[in-house]
Structures are given as C-alpha cells and as structure tokens.
C-alpha cells in the first residue's frame, strides 16, 4: 500500500455526488477515446448520452454508491446493487449476490490503486451484508485488459456475453 492509497477514504455516496461521478465518466470516455478505444463506451460524453444523467442519479438514490476521496476530492466511485442491470443479457445468480454496477476512477489518479481499493470495499460490504457472491460485468474487448484487471483483484471469469456487438464478460468472487 502506498502513501496515496493509505490516505484514500471511502464513504457512502448520495445524490450530491452525481456531478462528480458524471465528471469521472466523461473523463473516462475522453481517456478511452484518446487511446483509440471508441467501442467500450462510445465517443459521446456520458453526461450527454440519452439517459446518462438519469442513470447516475438512480445509482445515487436507488443503489448503494460509494465514493473514494483523497483530501476531500472524489477520485473514484463504486455502485453496488443486488443483481445485474435488467438491460444486460445476464442471468440472475440463483442466490443472493452483490453486483458491481459501476466502477470508475478519476484518470488523473490512475495507477494509485483507487479501483482496487473500491473493489476491496465492495468485498467488505458484500461480506457485511452476509452475502457470499460478488459479481461484475465488464467490456471484454480491447485485448481483455479490463477483464485482467478484475482477475488481478480476485474475480474469476464465469460467462461471456454479447450486448449487440459489445463483447462482455461476467466475473465472480466468493467472499464468504
């Protein structure tokens, strides 16, 4: 653990965090596009996508959002739910689960372990809820870098899926 991750604070989020989450999502789209990745989240800033703002507002009111902060500034966000998005072609787990619906970090703090710290928090919250299964889905294109990130953080690939032409991967972690 480096000094930066030691200073990282993770707190429950709420509706007041929606603008910071949208800013991180917009910056993530720009960062991906600058690296030539226009397939994962497209090229339109998240805040300008139809339903984008409303989705983030729902995340902060209907789900369990968590915000990672460094010196009082939001540098990452995690949203947990009790299952996958109904819009995704993913089967229910068949047992109680927690599901990572969103994980995003501020690209200006890339490489500092913000995403890993948020995933460790998701494991803690899942365990605290008495639930043994934590799942996430992610984009599986681009050489599988995102899938590899989740695998480095304790997840195991379980089922590939497609949403239109978008290649996805479901990953799971037993926390009990």
State in Å, rounded, how far the first CA of the chain is from the last one. Answer: 24
Each domain of the chain, given as residue ranges in start order, spans: 3-174
* Residue 102 · residue 59 · CB < 8 Å: yes
We find that the CATH architecture of domain 3-174 is: 3-Layer(aba) Sandwich (3.40)
| Dihedral, 94, 96, 102, 108 alpha carbons, nearest 10 | -120
The pLDDT score that the predictor gives to residue 2 is 44
Query: 165's torsion region: left (phi>0), alpha (psi -120 to 50) or beta?
Result: alpha
How do residues 57-109 score in pLDDT, each as one tens digit? Answer: 999 999 999 999 999 999 999 999 999 988 888 888 999 999 999 999 998 88
pTM, entire model? 0.91
How far is Cα 85 from Cα 80, in angstroms, rounded to an integer? 11
């Amino acid at each position: 653990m480096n000094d930066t991750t030691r200073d990282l604070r993770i707190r429950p989020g709420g509706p007041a965090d929606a603008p910071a989450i949208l800013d991180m999502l917009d910056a993530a789209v720009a960062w991906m596009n600058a690296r030539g990745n226009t397939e994962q989240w497209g090229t339109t800033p998240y805040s300008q996508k139809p339903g984008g703002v409303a989705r983030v507002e729902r995340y902060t009111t209907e789900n369990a959002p968590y915000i990672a902060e460094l010196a009082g500034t939001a540098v990452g966000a995690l949203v947990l739910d009790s299952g996958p998005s109904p819009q995704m072609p993913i089967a229910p787990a068949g047992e109680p689960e927690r599901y990572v619906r969103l994980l995003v970090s501020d690209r200006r703090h890339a490489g500092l372990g913000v995403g890993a710290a948020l995933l460790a928090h998701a494991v803690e919250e899942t365990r605290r809820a008495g639930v043994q299964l934590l799942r996430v889905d992610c984009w599986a294109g681009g050489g599988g870098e995102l899938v590899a990130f989740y695998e480095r953080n304790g997840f195991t690939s379980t089922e590939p899926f497609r949403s239109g032409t978008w290649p996805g991967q479901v990953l799971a972690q037993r926390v009990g």
